[in-house]
Amino acid sequence: METTSVLESLFRWMHVVAGILWIGLLYFFNWVNSAFAPTMDGETKKKVVPELLPRALYWFRWGAAWTWVTGLVLITLVFYHGRVVFDTGNSWGSAAYVMIAVTFLGVFIYDALMNTLGKSNMRAAVVVGLILTAGCIWAMGNWAGFSYRGYNIHTGAMFGTLMAFNVWFRIWPAQQKIIMAIKNGQAPDGSLVALAGIRSKHNTYMSLPLVWMMVNAHTTWASSHWWYLVIVIAFGWWVGSMLFRRAAKVSGF
């Protein structure tokens, strides 16, 4: 029994369980709670929100943290230690290190984009984000020499990093202030509500192609052209928009 194989199995298990916890609550917040919360009056919100949301957000943020940490361990074990990140004939070089840095530090570009263009024209910011993502995928495959599995999983890691950042540094800090305001019978800061809402919605959209990248790293038909992954991302975002529309039409009894 190889130690590495055992570790891969254990961390993959942890990764999937944590991911189910995180993404399940993400969908609850965006497709269930977002439609339910406006139906509560002030007194009901004052009672329900301080009791419900801290509990849900506890599992939400720690699910995000453990999904990201175990994902990082799996990339190290499977792709770096296992040497499957590159196409045949390619190996570590400056281009590969640059793209690894982009994978995990590109979150700051995303955050800056959303804090500038995103505030005035979110549609344009999303288009720019898709173009930048396409550029990253092309560079991973054609400049850094990543295999299909390599650029597929690193694009997923990039999305996962953006999402985990949103949870811990944008959504959770805003929600703490929102919950305390509601508990004290005050109107929460509108800018915080908007920030938490839009970043949570971004996470929902990114989660759909992210799940594809997690489970389809071994597909062969998608490996022939790097831009197939860009199409999958765009299609996932379209599916997300359809699900948001459907969620708004679901009502209680």
Tokens representing 49 are 């929100």
- Where the chain has pLDDT below 50, the residues are none
What integer pLDDT is reported at residue 221 of this predicted model? 84
CA 86 to chain centre: 24
Domain boundaries, the chain: 3-249
* Distances from the Cα of 29 to the Cα of 32, 39, 100, 111, 196, angstroms: 6, 15, 32, 21, 11
Q: How many whole angstroms separate alpha carbon 75 and alpha carbon 96?
A: 14
pLDDT tens per residue across span 193-244: 999 999 999 999 999 999 999 988 777 788 889 999 999 999 999 999 999 9
The dihedral through the CA atoms of 83, 87, 91, 96 has a sign that is negative
pTM for this prediction: 0.96
What integer pLDDT is reported at residue 1 of this predicted model? 57
What integer pLDDT is reported at residue 116 of this predicted model? 98
* Distances from the Cα of 144 to the Cα of 92, 132, 250, angstroms: 8, 16, 46
What integer pLDDT is reported at residue 83 of this predicted model? 82
What integer pLDDT is reported at residue 174 of this predicted model? 98
Q: What is the mean pLDDT of the chain?
A: 95
Tell which residue, 163, 5, 153, has the closest CA to residue 75.
153
Q: How many whole angstroms separate alpha carbon 204 and alpha carbon 156?
A: 14
